[in-house]
Structure 1
Amino acid sequence: MTLALGLSVDAFAAAIGKGAALDRPRFSEALRTGVIFGCVEALTPVIGWAIGLAAASSVDAFDHWIAFVLLAAVGGRMVVQASRGHDGEAPPSRPRRHGLMVLFATAIGTSLDAMAVGVTLAFIGADITVAAIAIGLATAVMATIGMLLGRYLGGRFGRLAEALGGVALIGLGTKILVEHTLLA
């Protein structure tokens, strides 16, 4: 359970930013985000586990670059949208929900560490089914809560909360990249 909660923290932080970027997201949107994040987070350790059984070294060579690019792109987009000036005009209305591709890109970016964990689980012979279900459920709950918390922050802090969410995603991607390249 500790592993599942640990892996869901990234998705929680990303979901806060996603919730802040929307115009008062409803519970159904928060749940949709939670399910997408949870399913992706449950699938990635299974993929890592399968790769770990086949050839672990191929994952370590590039997973951190994929995570960095995805998270930096999504985070950068959030920062740009939040920082656009309005020159006395009314700010543009925020969307009520995110597109599937944006949610999947964010979910994949935050779940690549789970793929590396899956490789490790293969090496130690852990039950991947139990681990994947626990990771997916914890992430779904944490991402749903994060979206709802983002709703609260977005309504009060609007563009600032969205910009901070974007900066957090860029920072998360950078952290993953640094840990796998400079500190390895």
Structure 2
Amino acid sequence: MSEMVGEVVTLVIMAFALGMDAFSVGLGMGMYELRLKKIFNIGITIGLFHVWMPLVGLIAGKFLSEKFGVFATVIGGLLLIVLGAQMIWSTMKKGEEKVISPVGFGLLLFALSVSLDSFSVGLTLGIYGAKTIMVILCFGIVATVQTWAGLLLGRKVQGWLGRYSEALGGAILLAFGIKLLALLW
């Protein structure tokens, strides 16, 4: 029982880290006048993408795990480290951020862009042998709530917080990648 609780806590923390980009981008988008119905739809769409993308990654990861064993686990850990480092690095870059309109195709593109990292994490978790239902529930629910929080909070605060939240998410993914590799040695 305690092993399952530990896995759920780990998955929620990972989901929180992955949802940071949805939160930070939602924070910026929330500064535009969006109706509550639109905020609700954006959150649901992002949540669904955070279910679908890790599911595809989990399936691919389980396949790789059966074929490549420990080598695949090393690749998964390295993917998390690279992804976390990339998230941290992107917060340090100075430049214009493009804002995608959260309507129609723009909403789908927005949801895909903030959930691509959950594919690689799903790949890693599939290699590691995580429970599929727990992963997609945790990722989907947490991403939805974080998106809503970002959009709603964006109506109230300045955009500087979003940059720091993405760096925090990157640091968490980086730590989990290191932890995964450390378990091998």
Q: TM-score, normalised by structure 1?
A: 0.67
Aligned-pair identity (%): 11
Gaps of 5+ in 2: none
Deviation at 1:36, TM superposition (A): 0.9
Residue in 1 aligned with 2:128?
Answer: 120
- Contact 2:42 / 2:107 at 8 angstroms: preserved in 1? no
Change (3 A) 1:153 1:55: same
- Contact 2:24 / 2:150 at 8 angstroms: preserved in 1? yes
- Contact 1:66 / 1:109 at 8 angstroms: preserved in 2? no
Deviates more, 1:106-115 or 1:14-23: 106-115
Q: How do residues 173-184 of structure 1 correspond to structure 2 at under 5 angstroms?
A: 173-176=173-176, 178-179=178-179
Alignment pair present for 1:51 and 2:64: yes
Q: How do residues 1-184 of structure 1 correspond to structure 2 at under 5 angstroms?
A: 2=5, 3=7, 5-6=11-12, 7-22=14-29, 23=32, 24=34, 26-56=39-69, 57-61=71-75, 62-64=78-80, 66-68=82-84, 70-72=86-88, 75=91, 80-81=95-96, 96-97=101-102, 100=108, 103-121=111-129, 131-176=131-176, 178-179=178-179
- Contact 2:57 / 2:120 at 8 angstroms: preserved in 1? yes
- SS at structure 2 position matched to 1:156: coil
- SS at structure 1 position matched to 2:56: helix
Deviation at 1:160, TM superposition (A): 1.9
Q: TM-score, normalised by structure 2?
A: 0.67
Rounded to whole Å, the distance in 2 between the matches of 1:66 and 1:99 is 27
Rounded to whole Å, the distance in 2 between the matches of 1:42 and 1:94 is 27
Gaps of 5+ in 1: 83-92
Rounded to whole Å, the distance in 2 between the matches of 1:135 and 1:171 is 20
Rounded to whole Å, the distance in 2 between the matches of 1:181 and 1:133 is 24
Residue in 2 aligned with 1:89?
Answer: none
Rounded to whole Å, the distance in 1 between the matches of 2:141 and 2:163 is 24
Change (3 A) 1:177 1:49: closer
Rounded to whole Å, the distance in 1 between the matches of 2:119 and 2:19 is 11
